[in-house]
Amino acid sequence: MEENLFTVLWAQLLWPLARVLFLVALGLVVANFIEALNWSHRLALLARPLIRLGRLSSVAGASFAMAFFSGVSANAMLSEAYDQGRIARKELVLANLFNSLPRFFLHLPTVFFLTAPLIKGAAVIYVGLTFSAAAIQTLLVALCGRLMLPPPVDEGIGEAKDARKITWRQALKKSIRRFRERIPKILYFMVPAYVLFFVLGRAGFFTAAEEFVAGRAWFLSWLDPKAVGIIIMHVTAEFSAGLAAAGALLADSSLGSKQVVLALLVGNVLASPVRAIRHQVPYYVGIFPPGIALELVVVSQLFRMVCIGAVGIGYSLFG
């Protein structure tokens, strides 16, 4: 019994927690290393048109570029800039939302090669619509920044002051020193949050929440009943379960591609909030202050739901 308990704790709590802590730690070191080498402005050049449109700082641009490779490092850049007073809370929220497009590309290979074998041609439509939602979100955030943020100050002056040469060894030492200052806060907030969410998961809280959402599917009466089955599998199990159900219904011609795609989009919208709170909040509180971490997750999910809902409605009407 003790061995079984240890196996469960190791597989479901200790190892995942150690892995997340390692990734967050590595992300912070990389982010600080880039900042120490004064590379943020160079990375920001990749998103200059959108950055200028949204009146965002070079930190947001650098985070946008970094998000194509590492979401943790991208968030760590924003957290460091916020802690140092280089960006305000409003820009922090917008910059986090701004990274939806690179986050999409970061997960694109996994999503596409999971969907393509199961739903074949419908995979192209599904991936195309989710890409459109991410692109719309990024553009909307840029427009919101244009309306909500003041014109940026000339960052070239500050960059010139910090343009003195620094070696890679000095940059690494500086990033490690900064990381050592942050690690107590990471452990203080992240470990209890991760343990709490593990306990809630074992107690069935998230399963009950997912079943609650799936059980109140009366508002999906406009869909074929078979398509509702895909949504329920998507919400109560996982994305691959919904895909398997969709693939089976497509194979025997019980549903057409359009109904399958709409069902997957609806399942995506309904399943994401619970899973985001379950998986994102524990690691976000290791990077951002707890209140800001929760705000970022909630706002991000709301924005994402609206954008996916918009493309889904558009596809339903005109697809």
Q: Could you give the CA distance from residue 129 to residue 264 in angstroms, rounded to a whole number?
A: 11
Quick check: 281 pLDDT over 60? yes
Cα distances (angstroms) measured from residue 270 to each of 99, 121, 133, 266, 301: 21, 24, 15, 6, 10
Q: List CB contacts of 294: < 8 A, sequence separation 6 or more.
A: 281, 284, 285
Q: Could you give the CA distance from residue 27 to residue 131 in angstroms, rounded to a whole number?
A: 25
0.85 surpassed by pTM = no
83-100 as b/e: b if 16+ CB within 10 A? eeebbeeebbbbbbbbbb
HSE-up (13 A, CA, CB side) for residue 176: 6
DSSP 8-state secondary structure symbol assigned to residue 164: S
Quick check: 42 pLDDT over 80? no
Alpha carbon of residue 211 to chain centroid: 23
Quick check: 27 pLDDT over 90? no
**Total domain count, the chain:** 1
Cα distances (angstroms) measured from residue 201 to each of 76, 194, 207, 236, 282: 27, 10, 7, 13, 13
Contact 306, 273 (CB under 8 A): no
Quick check: 295 pLDDT over 70? yes
Lowest-pLDDT range, 139-148, 227-236, 283-292?
Answer: 227-236
Show the domain range for 129. 2-318
* Tens of pLDDT, residues 86-104: 899 999 999 999 999 888 8
What is the DSSP annotation of 113-142?
A: HHHHHHHTHHHHHHHHHHHHHHHHHHHHHH
Quick check: 204 pLDDT over 90? no
Six token digits for residue 115: 């969907």
Cα distances (angstroms) measured from residue 124 to each of 47, 63, 140: 26, 28, 24
What is the reported pLDDT for 161?
A: 46
Lowest-pLDDT range, 46-55, 206-215, 294-303?
Answer: 206-215
Q: Could you give the CA distance from residue 191 to residue 207 in angstroms, rounded to a whole number?
A: 22
Cα distances (angstroms) measured from residue 153 to each of 50, 52, 143: 17, 12, 18
How many CB atoms within 10 Å of residue 300? Answer: 21
Report, as an integer, the average pLDDT of 129-149. Answer: 94
Quick check: 158 pLDDT over 60? no
Contact 78, 59 (CB under 8 A): yes
